[in-house]
Structure 1
Amino acid sequence: MSHHATPPGTGRKLTLVVLGLAGLIAAMLCAFALPSLHSGPHHVPIGVTGPGQTAEAVKEKVDGPEWDVRLYKTPDAVETAVKAGDISGGLAITAQSVDVYTATAGGPSATSALTALGDGVAEQNKTQASVHDVVPFTDEDPRGAGLTSALMPMIFGGIFPALILGNVFPGHRGLRVRLAGALIFSAVAGAAVAAVLQFGTHSIDGSYGLTALGVMLGMAALSTILLGLQARFGMVGFAFGGALMMLLGNPLSGLATGPHWLPDGWATVGQLLPPGASGSLLRANAFFDGAGGGLPGLVLMVWVVIGVGLALLADRRGRRSTGPRSKVVAASAAVDASHSELATSRE
């Protein structure tokens, strides 16, 4: 009768794995459910202009947890700020009407809420509200379905290279090949995704080159961080990174609604993760001529640096571990060769 002894520490490892998976599921549920339950305008920046004390009165009444009201001198200044992405929309109040300036491409949910706010102000002033969508989606895709659907290809564009290249070029010897392959794939796939969105579905507008560069950077951030985690911590690191990007970064990206529609803390976390930063950069490049793309671009570059840094650290440790072994193998080969030559000379 044979007995198989359980390796020491198995119970502890099993406990950690089970608790980790349970925590991941709980975090996933929170990421999907809580932002939806508490969705709505959260400190949405809007501009208000009007004669006399009208704008001040609206600011005192509206400014709060939902709206971040900023005063402007003229309607043209409000419209310019909306086009530049400085604010999500605005109200220009006159004695005859309330002009509502919106940017649907910047966040359709905030646009709907701002329109309702404008209707309420107009009703109080016994006037009519006129809506001016100064940054709309394209005529071919007025609801922005193509923009929203771009997030998953970008996320998978970061996961697939790390997974596939890791199997094709495994181990320490293939690490640099994997890293180079991921960067090349990000460039090619980013250009392809931008081309489909702009020339295939006509879902975005603006400079194709600028948009493509942003998508490339987003995919590079995802693929390099996953490769770095995989190289440094193995499949555990890859699984953790993939779950973080897919299960947390996806619902918190705010690409469909705009980040201001998520609760403040969740929105901040989402914008600091590659999916959220990639979505914000894509929106800025596609509809606002790059305005507002500086911060998400910086976030993505930081993730690229971290990913490459982890990969280089793993490469350095791999060289140290394989160095002595290589010397031993070389010495053994030299001894075998000398023995062979000696045997041959004796014959």
Structure 2
Amino acid sequence: MSTSTDPGVDQITPRQEGTTRPAVVHTPWARALALAVGAAAIVVVILLAFLWPTVTSTVKDLPIAIAGPSAQVSAVETQLDKAASGAFAITSLSDRQAAVDAIQKRSVYGAIVLGDSPEVLSASANGAAVTQIMNQVAANIQAAANAQAQAAVQQAIASGHAPAGTKAPTITVKVTDVVPLASTDARGLGLAASSFPLVLGGMLGGVLISLLVAGSWRRLGAVALYGVAGGLAVTGILQGWFGILQGDFWVNALAVGLAMFAVAAFVVGMNALFGRVGIAIGAVLTVLVGNPLSAAAQPLQFLVGPWGAIGQWFVPGASVTLLRDLSYFPSADALFPWLVLLGWAAVGVVGMLAGHFRNQEVTEAAA
């Protein structure tokens, strides 16, 4: 019996005469303990990667609009700043229609329309967090308006301009959902949850193709077919079966397929350039960096510092933004997420081709 020379496995010594089984040389304690600590450290890194963006997020810089008379707009801006300083990035608009257009283009996430009948415009398609905030804004404006009306009546009674017992009219702030979610995904949970399976599916496809397919051109063909088949199948489930995605099926399938192709191509390209280490690079950048920063379940402005904007440069952030725009905000400018997905796909293809020619040169030199 031969003795293993791999330090990572237990070594077996040749069988001694008179013995019934070979002696085993166990893994050194130092190595075993180091592996255990390293595995625990990896778990900690993964936990932090997924929890840190959520735990550290705060309500800040939410883009909203205020439409109405300038005096009322200034008063509401002051009121919002006192109630929640830094929570809103406010844009002044001329009227209600301008506010609706801005929401549909997704340049703002909500709006306050002032006048004789104040109204708050929301868009539940932006996510549950935005809907909750806009409902709270409506409640605060209504409370402030009723308090102001009550104070005016009390002043009129005190000055003799109104009889005692006069009651102030009750002011109700109407909340209108300008871009509602589909009834098949009324809470938006499916759209938010679809980001991670797309990334994980793309990564697994890239890993399998890297390990099981030989030949750079064959790998490229396999990744392309994987993107097409995955895009059609996943869109069929998300839109045709569960009704999570809305809008044009073929455009959504193109977006889903491009996202899966981009991740898979990047993993295969990194593997072609750096070997097995490249697979780890692809997994880390897409799953541990890109996915937690995707802002799938909350506005990207809520993430700490510039990380929300940075997350939109990765496949998970770009894909979830693109699918949300295609489903509910067709008037929004979706050029940037399309370009991000195309950019990652191009990097992967270039990596595959560069690895092909590099390996070809090495083989020819060895020959």
Q: TM-score, normalised by structure 2?
A: 0.78
- Write the deviation string for residues 212-231 of structure 1: whole angstroms up to 9, x where unpaired: 21112211211111111111
- 8 Å CA contact retained: 1:45, 1:67: yes
Contact 1:274/1:300 (CA < 8 Å) preserved in 2? yes
Shift of 1:29: 3.7
Equivalent residue for 2:149? none
Find the aligned partners of 1:279 and 1:42 in 2 and give their Cα distance.
21
CA RMSD of aligned residues (A): 2.9
| Counterpart-to-counterpart distance in 2, 1:95 and 1:290 | 30
Shift of 1:177: 0.9
CA deviation map 1:97-123 (0-9, x unaligned): x31111111222112112201211221
Residue 223 of structure 2 is matched in structure 1 by 182
Cα pair 1:224 1:308 within 8 Å, conserved: yes
Q: Which residue of 2 aligns with 1:119?
A: 139
Secondary structure at the residue paired with 1:42? coil
**Quick check: 1:166 aligned with 2:210?**
yes
Q: Distance in 1 between matches of 2:259 and 2:277?
A: 23
In structure 1, the partner of 2:55 is 37
The Cα of 1:41 is off from its aligned counterpart by 2.3
- Structure number having the greater helix percentage: 1
The answer as to 2:102 corresponding to 1:81 is yes
Pairing partner for 1:132 from 147, 154, 176: 176
Structure-to-structure mapping, 1:195-344, within 5 angstroms = 195-289=236-330, 291-325=332-366, 328=367
- Partner Cα distance (2:109, 2:352) in 1: 39
Match for 1:143 among 187, 190, 212? 187
1:58-108 Cα deviation digits (max 9, x unpaired): 234435532110001001110111112111111112233x31111111222
Please tell me the residue identity of whatever aligns with 1:99: E
Change in Cα spacing, 1:205 to 1:211, as seen in structure 2 (3 Å) is: same
Choose 1 or 2 for highest CA Rg: 2
| Alpha-carbon distance between aligned partners in 2 of 1:114 and 1:20, rounded to the nearest angstrom | 45
Matched, 1:55 2:73: yes
* SS, match of residue 173 in structure 2: strand
Unaligned runs of 5+ in 2: 8-34, 147-170
- Tell me the TM-score normalised to structure 1 length: 0.82
The aligned residue for residue 108 of structure 1 is: 128
Whole-angstrom distance in 2 between the partners of 1:24 and 1:303: 26
- State the secondary structure of the residue aligned to 2:185: coil
Q: Which residue of 1 is the match for residue 152 of structure 2?
A: none
Partner deviation per Cα, 1:35-65 (whole Å, 9 max, x = no partner): 2222232211111112241112223443553
Q: Which residue of 1 aligns with 2:24?
A: none
Q: Which runs of 5+ in 1 are unaligned?
A: 7-16, 329-347
> What is the number of residues matched between the two proteins?
316
Q: Deviations over 1:99-149 (max 9, x none)?
A: 111111122211211220121122111232211111111012201232123
SS in 2 for 1:53: helix
Kindly provide the CA deviation profile for residues 174-225 of structure 1, in whole angstroms up to 9, marking residues without a partner as x. Answer: 1221122112211221122222222211122212222221112211211111
CA distance in 1, matches of 2:86, 2:315: 27
Percent identity, aligned pairs only? Answer: 29
Mapped partners of 1:42, 1:145: distance in 2 = 22
Which of 51, 56, 65 is the matching residue for 2:86? 65
Amino acid of the structure 2 residue aligned with 1:207: D
Asked whether the 8 Å contact 2:104–2:331 carries over to 1, the reply is no
